[in-house]
Structure 1
Amino acid sequence: MIKSYSIENLSPHLFWDVDTTTLDFEKSKIQIVYKVLEYGLISDWNIIKEIYGLETIKEISLELRTLDDVTLSYLSNLFKIDKSNFRCYKLKQSNQNFWSY
């Protein structure tokens, strides 16, 4: 039995910059998945995993423009996909870093 979720079930800090009444799990799924991957708690991860499934999360994450290194490594390992297949990795490699610190 799949539990019914609402945006309020996700951590409030994820959508501090958005009117949550305008978010919809289907229409806003890219934004929701991105925010949970980057800033979410394990409870948020479990919710999106149940709502979208791993295949949809994989498809979305492969096309995201940015992901932090830890999240990228986790997803790469979870989905058994080389990091170079992620769009964010390709973009990061093609952007020159002017500051070395």
Structure 2
Amino acid sequence: MKKEQKLTDISTLKTQLFWDTDINKLDYQKAYVPIIARVIERGDQSEIDEIVRLFGREKVLLTICNEIKFLPNYAIERAIRFFPELRKEDMLCYLNRKDESYHWI
């Protein structure tokens, strides 16, 4: 069984994903929730693979289920496509919004 190699920084992720952040100053261990959320929402399979290598699969799955408070519907579907073991009914971001309509400006 191949052991996941953990990375030591997020420099391998596309900087376009973090257009509003100086990634050189980002403490990726403390900011793992917004990093994972941004990659789920806007990244592709290669970025998903990178966050799994960076944080570990279990931490990514637990973060998606228990810590990300909001993802748009399309990102929830993407998360399920990237991680087939996920169910939206187990995701906090889905439970927070399933019966509410969101009105944007």
Do the structures match in fold with TM over 0.5?
A: yes
Measured against aligned partners, the alpha-carbon deviations of 1:31-77 in whole angstroms (never above 9, x if no partner) come to 11111111112221111111212110111111212223343234346
Higher relative contact order (CA 8 A, sep 6+): 2
Q: Does 1:55 align with 2:51?
A: no
**Between Structure 1 and Structure 2, which shows a larger proportion of helix residues?**
1
- 2:71 alignment partner, SS class: coil
Check conservation: 2:15, 2:23, Cα contact below 8 A: no
Q: Which TM-score applies when normalising by structure 1?
A: 0.77
Unaligned runs of 5+ in 1: none
Distance 1:15 1:5 in 2: 17
Percent identical among aligned pairs is: 24
- Runs of 4+ aligned structure 1 residues displaced above 6 Å come to none
Check conservation: 1:11, 1:41, Cα contact below 8 A: no
Distance 1:44 1:11 in 2: 8
Distance 2:102 2:52 in 1: 34
Distance 1:81 1:4 in 2: 24
Q: Does 1:87 align with 2:92?
A: yes
Distance 1:56 1:96 in 2: 29
Q: 2:75 aligns with which of 67, 71, 75?
A: 71
Q: Which TM-score applies when normalising by structure 2?
A: 0.74
Greater C-alpha radius of gyration? 1
After alignment, is 79-88 or 17-26 more displaced?
A: 79-88
Unaligned runs of 5+ in 2: none
Letter in 1 for 2:60: I
